[in-house]
């Protein structure tokens, strides 16, 4: 009888602790943004001979145990100059108080435009959501560096919702704009998210997340631009695309197992 009472008491404590932990999960959006911003980094090339400060290429976010980061493959596809000291780095922090960490491109997934980076030192990671696709109409948020770090490192956050789950094919205004590469991609396409959310070229690699939990559910990888990159800043279309997080899970698994 005594043992039964002890077991019942321990179960009560266990479930009470779980309820308290659930209640203590951050739900305020400003808190979520703060947490996500701490795990969001700028991806840059550090070449002291060429540039006085690292040249920001896009955005990424920290994953796993804090020693890895995810970004778009196209952000880190530039060949480094072997004749000078030139490295890919991540920049973490805010304003002019920025930590620079050297990284190695550990694994790439060109088909889904993803790259996994290995960090030289540890940062605070973000939590990844599960591999199920989020339904159209679901609210999302994204945080990144849409205009780089011209005035310092200041992450910007935008909200929107998933407007469609669509094949991964770059939109064309008419048939004359369809290239052979685009046609070949249509033969083996993956489903990605089309967003009703404002993103910019510098947001490439930004985490797309659940605004209630902060869990990453996708990776921003392209913006529909009407004509030039400059017009994306002055007159954005409001249509962006993101890669489902299930491909991030696979990338990490392939690289670490």
CATH number at residue 220: 2.40.10.10
| Per-residue buried b or exposed e for 42-54, using 16+ beta carbons within 10 Å of the residue's own CB | bbbbbbeeeeeeb
Same domain for 101 and 145? no
What would the two tokens of residue 83 be? 């004749």
pLDDT above 50: residue 21:
no
Quote the domain boundaries for residue 53: 32-119
Last residue of a domain, one of 68, 87, 119: 119
Same domain for 236 and 172? yes
Name which of 2-11, 18-27, 120-129, 213-222 the model is least confident about: 2-11
What would the two tokens of residue 155 be? 């992450």
Average pLDDT over all residues of the chain: 82
Give pTM, 2 decimals. Answer: 0.80
Task: Read off the pLDDT band of 77 (50, 70, 90).
Answer: very high
**78 in a structural domain:** yes
Angle, CA 121 vertex, CA 117 and CA 125 arms, to 5°: 65
Q: What are phi and psi of 7, to 5 degrees?
A: -65, -45
pLDDT at 173: 42
Give the residue with greater pLDDT, 86 vs 1: 86
Last residue of a domain, one of 53, 87, 119: 119
Same domain for 250 and 158? yes
Last residue of a domain, one of 59, 88, 119: 119
Same domain for 158 and 107? no
**Mean local confidence (pLDDT), 171-200:** 68
What would the two tokens of residue 238 be? 């409001």
């Amino acid at each position: 009888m005594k043992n039964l009472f002890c077991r019942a008491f321990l179960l009560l404590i266990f479930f009470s602790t779980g309820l308290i932990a659930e209640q203590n999960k951050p739900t305020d959006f400003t808190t979520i943004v703060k947490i996500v911003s701490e795990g969001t980094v700028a991806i840059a090339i550090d070449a002291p001979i060429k540039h006085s400060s690292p040249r920001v290429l896009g955005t990424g976010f920290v994953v796993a145990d804090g020693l890895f980061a995810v970004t778009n493959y196209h952000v880190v596809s530039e060949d480094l100059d072997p004749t000078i000291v030139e490295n890919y780095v991540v920049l973490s922090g805010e304003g002019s108080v920025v930590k620079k960490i050297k990284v190695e491109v550990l694994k790439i997934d060109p088909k889904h435009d993803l790259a996994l980076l290995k960090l030289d030192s540890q940062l605070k990671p973000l939590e990844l959501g599960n591999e199920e696709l989020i339904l159209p109409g679901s609210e999302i948020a994204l945080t990144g560096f849409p205009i780089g770090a011209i005035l310092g490192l200041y992450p910007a956050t935008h909200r929107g919702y998933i407007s469609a789950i669509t094949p991964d094919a770059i939109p064309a205004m008419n048939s004359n704009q369809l290239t052979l590469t685009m046609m070949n991609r249509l033969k083996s396409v993956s489903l990605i998210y089309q967003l009703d959310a404002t993103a910019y070229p510098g947001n490439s690699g930004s985490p797309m997340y659940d605004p209630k939990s902060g869990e990453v559910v996708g990776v921003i990888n392209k913006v529909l631009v009407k004509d030039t990159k400059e017009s994306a800043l002055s007159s954005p279309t409001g249509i962006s695309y993101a890669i489902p997080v299930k491909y991030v899970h696979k990338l990490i698994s392939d690289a670490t197992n």
